[in-house]
């Protein structure tokens, strides 16, 4: 059997003989979702109904088992081995494959904590909001904390307190109310000579337990805190500070976009077509994801990619695969000639034996448009398209045709206005009109849903452009140094200089953004001068000169 390895920690990957299988080879995201469910169960039979509920959480197709069979066949073709997915009685199982989660758990059970942490990444990040993934994600996060604690204990016993502080802080960031993690961090900080920092961490834990859970800290916490405060700690006190702490990327709660979400939902419910405009980082993708989860009907969701802008039918291929994943039987109803033409875009569609060939390119294109229109109409699901600015002309032709001819088809089309040609938007407006909702920066009040400190809130509001991306990058930078820690969906200040650090990170991010935009506009004098004029109002002259290429 071909050596196949599944990666569920961090970005989902499937590797065959060490090489990643391209995501496009699977023929749609539902195949990849199915494989992740199978990989989580690693060798155990997963019944049809469990798989179907995970793959089609909003509405099951008419024949779930038949549609699962289609997805399994696509997975087997992509991986080049039919044994990678085993057919059982009433379900499927993963064949003899390597799964990083299984290795992680085995390392933890054998107390090989460093080996376990070397594999660690955010578990199943693509399924962060999927019901089926909540239990394994929680289980793995608890296991991660146990691995961090085990590594910290081993480092303390081996005379490496700085390493112990680093891994203990990672455990505290993952679970701020877990006493055992904070106790280890305090012991490690004290061993590094930072008794004040150790006492501060224990005080924070005591306050958090009282405020959030209404309970007092254990006697062990209180006793260690008192001993450290009196400096009666029988451990060496080298002055070396622990290394910078690596923490998981800051996850942002969905805030400040409830009104926009409601307006998009209303448009979809009314069968309308609406545009969603915003610059890079404005939060379009997150809003679309929340929209798809909030609707009571399944959706056909796809994203265009810059690398595929010059590839004919790139976006269309994704849309059609998602539509067929709702009901694979749609393809069977196509006329033989149309199905044959569509198979040139979707190789997974089997051509009927003896189907007549298409004689020329124009005829093939016309039949692909007709077949694609039939598929989208038969699926009957709202279309959600992200990064429309990178869609290829053929895909735009199919999208415009579907919107013009299927008057009941609703759609939300997200794009970056500065990178989307006026001809593209005009063509879509002619199809059904395109009233557009433009995302504005997050309001300062919305940032209060992310952080619990007024000074930090002010620093985020003043030091960034208040886009979700910019705010998230600052919080990630703060979390990486332990300046903030996650607490029930918000970020809590853990060091007194968190607000000052946030301002510095925000200014650095603005400098990088101006430099990138200047590079993109180099050669366009009017745009560049306007950009420099904007920068001079906000940044030091030396930074502006460097960004403009005059330094």
Give Cα separations from 64 to 57, 86, 91, 135, 239 (angstroms): 12, 17, 11, 23, 63
Taking CB atoms within 8 Å and a gap of at least 24, the contacts of 495-503 are: 498/453, 498/455, 498/456, 499/453, 499/455, 499/456, 499/458, 499/459, 500/459, 501/477, 502/456, 502/459, 502/460, 502/463, 502/474, 502/478, 503/459, 503/462, 503/463
pLDDT tens across the length of the chain (551 residues): 458 999 999 889 999 988 999 888 888 889 999 999 999 988 889 999 999 999 998 888 888 999 999 999 999 999 988 888 999 888 999 988 999 999 999 999 999 999 999 999 889 988 888 889 988 999 999 999 999 999 999 999 999 988 999 999 999 988 888 999 999 999 999 898 888 888 888 988 888 888 777 788 888 988 888 888 775 444 333 333 333 333 333 457 788 899 999 999 999 999 999 999 999 889 998 899 889 888 888 889 999 888 778 888 989 998 998 888 888 788 888 888 888 888 888 887 766 555 555 556 788 889 999 999 999 999 889 999 999 999 999 999 999 999 999 999 999 999 999 998 888 888 888 878 889 999 999 888 888 888 888 888 888 888 888 888 888 888 888 877 778 877 766 788 888 888 888 888 877 766 555 555 554 444 444 444 444 444 444 444 433 333 333 33
Residue 397, pLDDT score: 92
Residue 350, pLDDT score: 66
Distance CA 61, CA 158 (A): 57
Q: What is the DSSP string of 169-190?
A: HHHHHH-TT-HHHHHHHHHHHH
Domain ranges of the chain: 1-154, 159-247, 258-438, 451-548
Distance CA 118, CA 198 (A): 27
Tokens of 180: 């055992």
End-to-end Cα spacing for the chain: 59
Q: What is the pTM of this model?
A: 0.56
Taking CB atoms within 8 Å and a gap of at least 24, the contacts of 519-527 are: 522/549
Residue 33, pLDDT score: 93
Residue 513, pLDDT score: 56
Residue 123, pLDDT score: 92
Other residues' Cβ atoms within 10 Å of the Cβ of residue 351:
16
- Which among 274, 269, 263, 283 is positioned nearest to 412, based on CA atoms? 274
Contacts with 74 (C-beta within 8 Å, 6 or more apart), sequence order? 26, 27, 28, 31, 348
Tokens of 271: 């069968």
Kindly indicate whether the domain formed by 258-438 is annotated with CATH number 3.40.50.300. Answer: yes
Question: What distance separates the 2 farthest-apart alpha carbons in the chain?
Answer: 89
Q: What is the DSSP string of 487-539?
A: ETTEEEE-STTHHHHHHHHHHHHHHHHHHHHHHHHTT-HHHHHHHHHHHHHHS
131-157 and 48-55 helices, crossing angle to 10° = 90
- Which among 226, 236, 245, 119 is positioned nearest to 170, based on CA atoms? 245
Distance CA 504, CA 56 (A): 45
Kindly indicate whether the domain formed by 1-154 is annotated with CATH number 3.10.129.10. Answer: no
Same fold, 1-154 and 258-438: no
Alpha helices in 85-229 (DSSP H): 100-109, 113-119, 131-157, 161-174, 179-191, 195-208, 219-229
Cβ atoms 116, 107 nearer than 8 A: yes
Distance CA 313, CA 319 (A): 10
Q: What is the DSSP string of 392-415?
A: -HHHHHHHHHHHHH-TT--EEEEE
- Which among 391, 386, 399, 413 is positioned nearest to 307, based on CA atoms? 391
Distance CA 114, CA 110 (A): 11
Distance CA 396, CA 377 (A): 16
């Amino acid at each position: 059997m071909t050596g196949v390895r599944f990666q569920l920690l961090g970005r989902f990957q499937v590797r065959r003989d060490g090489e990643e299988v391209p995501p496009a080879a699977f023929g749609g995201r539902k195949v990849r979702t199915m494989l992740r469910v199978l990989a989580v169960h690693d060798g155990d039979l997963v019944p049809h109904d469990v798989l179907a509920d995970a793959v089609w959480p909003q509405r099951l197709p008419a024949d779930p088992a038949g549609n699962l069979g289609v997805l399994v066949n696509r997975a087997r073709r992509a991986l080049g081995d039919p044994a990678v997915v085993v057919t059982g009685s009433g379900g499927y199982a993963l064949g003899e494959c390597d799964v990083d989660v299984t290795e992680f758990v085995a390392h933890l059970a054998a107390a090989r904590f460093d080996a376990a942490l070397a594999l660690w990444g955010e578990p199943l990040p693509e399924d962060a909001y999927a019901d089926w993934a909540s239990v394994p994600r929680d289980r793995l996060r608890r296991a991660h904390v146990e691995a961090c604690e085990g590594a910290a204990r081993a480092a303390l016993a081996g005379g490496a307190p700085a390493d112990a502080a680093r891994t203990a802080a990672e455990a505290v960031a993952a679970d701020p109310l877990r006493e055992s993690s904070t106790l280890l961090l305090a012991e490690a900080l004290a061993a590094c000579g930072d008794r004040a920092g150790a006492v501060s961490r224990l005080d924070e834990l005591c306050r958090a337990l009282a405020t959030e859970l209404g309970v007092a800290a254990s006697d062990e916490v209180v006793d260690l805190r008192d001993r450290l405060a009196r400096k009666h700690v029988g451990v060496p006190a080298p002055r070396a500070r622990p290394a910078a702490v690596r923490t998981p990327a800051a996850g942002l709660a969905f805030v400040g976009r409830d009104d926009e979400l409601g307006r998009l939902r209303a448009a979809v419910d009314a069968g309308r077509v609406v545009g969603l405009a915003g610059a890079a980082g404005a939060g379009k993708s997150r809003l679309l994801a929340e929209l798809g989860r909030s609707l009571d009907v399944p959706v056909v969701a796809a994203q265009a990619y810059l690398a595929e802008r010059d590839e004919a039918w790139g976006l269309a291929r994704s849309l059609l695969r998602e539509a067929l994943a709702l009901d694979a039987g749609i393809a069977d109803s196509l006329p033989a000639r149309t199905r044959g033409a569509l198979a040139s875009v979707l190789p997974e569609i089997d051509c009927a034996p003896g189907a007549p060939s298409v004689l020329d390119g124009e005829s093939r294109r016309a039949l692909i448009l007709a077949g694609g229109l039939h598929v989208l109409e038969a699926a009957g699901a709202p279309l959600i398209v992200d990064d429309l600015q990178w869609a290829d002309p053929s895909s735009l032709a199919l999208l415009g045709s579907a919107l013009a001819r299927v008057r009941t088809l609703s759609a939300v089309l997200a794009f970056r206005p500065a990178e989307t040609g006026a001809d593209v938007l005009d063509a879509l407006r002619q199809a059904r009109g395109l009233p557009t909702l433009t995302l504005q920066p997050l309001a300062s009040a919305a940032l209060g849903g992310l952080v619990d400190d007024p000074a930090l809130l002010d620093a985020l509001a003043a030091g960034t452009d208040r886009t979700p991306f910019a705010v998230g990058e600052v919080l990630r930078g703060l979390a990486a140094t332990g300046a903030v820690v996650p607490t029930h969906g918000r970020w809590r200040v853990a060091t007194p200089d968190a607000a000052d650090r946030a301002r510095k990170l925000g200014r650095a991010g603005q400098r990088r953004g101006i430099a990138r935009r200047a590079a993109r506009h180099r050669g366009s004098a009017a745009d560049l001068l306007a950009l420099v004029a904007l920068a001079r109002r906000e940044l030091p002259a030396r930074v502006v000169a460097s960004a403009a290429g005059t330094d």
